[in-house]
Structure 1
């Protein structure tokens, strides 16, 4: 595996093009400019874009992000961008953390120092990790797939090659959203390599075996299926579009940074524990840095298409199939609909389940301390 050091360096021409496009935005009308019921609030979007034009400093964000050690590895024809931070402690546990949509490696920025240098942040140096944070293919600075058929199942194989190429023959995995699917497939496909996984989300594509010869649905499981279906009907339009016609969506959002911003910001508001005010949890700088990473990737079609690949190969299991490595689940109160433990245990080897009274879908950004505490506790209890 060939690996080179990498620094984020967006060209002035790309920044100039972004400014021009933002300045020339053609704004829609809105029946309720203040509200979010129809999608991203027009009033909020005007404030966000005004900040983007007048105050947001990409170069400052770029400089800060470049303080992290970035690399690019060539694996099976892909250029995979990743952050690799060695742990400070006697025996670091290798851990690969995978983001989802609409996230990026930026999601993990706050947890990286807590996991790699616990002694400097009120923790036990024994709970240290060598942390690897890759960008999914087509996200941020990882190259996009050139053909169909690259979903979470296949990405798990890329991640295993990345970890082995870095010299880690046994490692843990962590993720939420799409990252939870990748981590789950890693544990299922390579149980001898993966010592354990930690998830802060159970992927919506997860399908345990049910039917003849298997335990019937419990009342809690039946209720979960109902709630999940209702949520998908009310809130799942984004996933249906990205999972069926991602290319059509990509034309508009690859041409309009404001359109992209509206598509992403609405999810940060809806999926976080913000009580309707997204700026209570995420600063404008954070939101715009995330949006900019998607814009500068130049591969929005690939980031959307990953939903179609996930539909084609869902996290579905047959009778007798199990995820063998020990699994810990952190459930944050305002997460998207999540199944009861009994539903998860039909496939996963659940050894730890933690409930949190606050926090949402973006746990590493919203509740980094609580997430890190759960990760530490889980891996501390596993054989090394």
Structure 2
């Protein structure tokens, strides 16, 4: 019975895929207003203003007072990170945060790249814009928009930016030199949050397209993971003639007949184009399924009632740190759950991790960042038009082995028919630019080389 249902489902999706595979649609660009109240009659101020991250004694003292009042529940014996963030290890983080971490120094590090703000659709949009210090004679820099996800921020790209903007001084060829723009998604970090319901990935994509036009770029390249991958995908669906190339390290390909083939078992995988490496990363599927269930609890909360948990996280820096840093453990490598410290310091320093937390804490943006899940998932899975539209711009994909769900090339190619580069990365997980900047930069450069051969 179950086999018949499964085969019928596969057949149904195959028919849908065959009927829709040749459609070359685009999303309507549209317009929006996300600021408070009604759109004013006067034209929006399109000026681009320099911005600096700042702090104060009052901000730091308030943080310290809240940290000093923390209450922790003792962990179960030998629980490590299997029940979430281990409170014994949290004691170390709290001590470091309170007594050693220097937020003023990290603010200086954040300000080492030029920051700006500009109003788009009623929102103050924050971004960093890093130009190459030098260019080879006769060359121009490639404009590259890099978009973060949750629970990350623009800071994730700080280690990869010099590899892209100044490759020669980092032992790399200067064949591909980039001008990098990293915006904060509205409601994240220093970008203003929407005052209205409905601000989803398509709205963010339209705003970032307007940002690139305002910066003088009619054509540009895109790169993203997590929400950034969806926002960049939406940009390619909205304005394909402006997007010269799209590079992703994650892809949401649920509306895809190929994803059902995984249910037919590892023995038949090769019939559907799975490579030996795909089989290694996808099976046993029971293990992958339970891993997805285990790691998706946050998604159900944020996709339904984000403001409730947001109240707690916005009030407690320790709670915020536990909630976010647990993702930097298990999404970097699921086996880190077996370690007492969650493996957090194997890929990151405490200064780096706490800087991410401080971006959320000082801006008070954990709640609006979580609302992005409800706006994108609140109508249900596969309810949005963009999920059924393929992307017809040249695409490159980096498959990092510790990503939450592996995407085989056939899955990606069904959504992105002009896939010209697919790479099995040697190591790394969800936070690719933050974890493995050299590997990601290498794959972006590889993609650009193949793109220029087209």
**TM-score, L = length of structure 2:** 0.79
Tell me the secondary structure at the aligned position of residue 207 of structure 1: coil
Is the contact made by 1:253 and 1:300 (CA closer than 8 Å) also made in structure 2? Answer: yes
- Bigger strand fraction: 1
Shift in Å, 1:207 = 2.6
Match of 2:375 in 1: 309
Match of 2:300 in 1: 240
Report Cα offsets for 1:193-215 as digits up to 9, x if no partner: 10111001113xx33354xxx99
Shift in Å, 1:317 = 5.9
Q: Which of these residues, 372, 379, 393, is aligned with residue 325 of structure 1?
A: 393
Instruction: Tell me the distance in 2 between the aligned counterparts of 1:254 and 1:184.
Output: 31
Tell me the secondary structure at the aligned position of residue 251 of structure 2: coil
Q: Which of these residues, 415, 437, 442, is aligned with residue 347 of structure 1?
A: 415
Instruction: Tell me the distance in 1 between the aligned counterparts of 2:389 and 2:48.
Output: 35
Bigger radius of gyration: 2
Instruction: Tell me the distance in 1 between the aligned counterparts of 2:120 and 2:372.
Output: 18
Shift in Å, 1:302 = 0.5
Instruction: Tell me the distance in 2 between the aligned counterparts of 1:377 and 1:354.
Output: 10
Is the contact made by 1:273 and 1:358 (CA closer than 8 Å) also made in structure 2? Answer: no
Match of 2:122 in 1: 77
Q: Which of these residues, 55, 78, 92, is aligned with residue 47 of structure 1?
A: 92
- CA change 1:318–1:63 in 2 (3 A) is closer
- CA change 1:188–1:31 in 2 (3 A) is same
Find out whether 1:207 has 2:254 as its counterpart.
yes
Find out whether 1:254 has 2:314 as its counterpart.
yes
Q: Which of these residues, 316, 328, 346, is aligned with residue 280 of structure 1?
A: 346
Instruction: Tell me the distance in 2 between the aligned counterparts of 1:63 and 1:7.
Output: 9
**TM-score, L = length of structure 1:** 0.93
Gaps of 5+ in 2: 1-45, 337-342
Instruction: Tell me the distance in 2 between the aligned counterparts of 1:93 and 1:331.
Output: 23
Output the aligned Cα RMSD: 2.3
Find out whether 1:171 has 2:216 as its counterpart.
no
Q: Which of these residues, 129, 137, 140, is aligned with residue 189 of structure 2?
A: 140
Shift in Å, 1:226 = 6.6
Is the contact made by 2:249 and 2:399 (CA closer than 8 Å) also made in structure 1? Answer: yes
Find out whether 1:361 has 2:440 as its counterpart.
no
Tell me the secondary structure at the aligned position of residue 396 of structure 2: strand
Instruction: Tell me the distance in 1 between the aligned counterparts of 2:86 and 2:424.
Output: 32
Shift in Å, 1:126 = 2.5
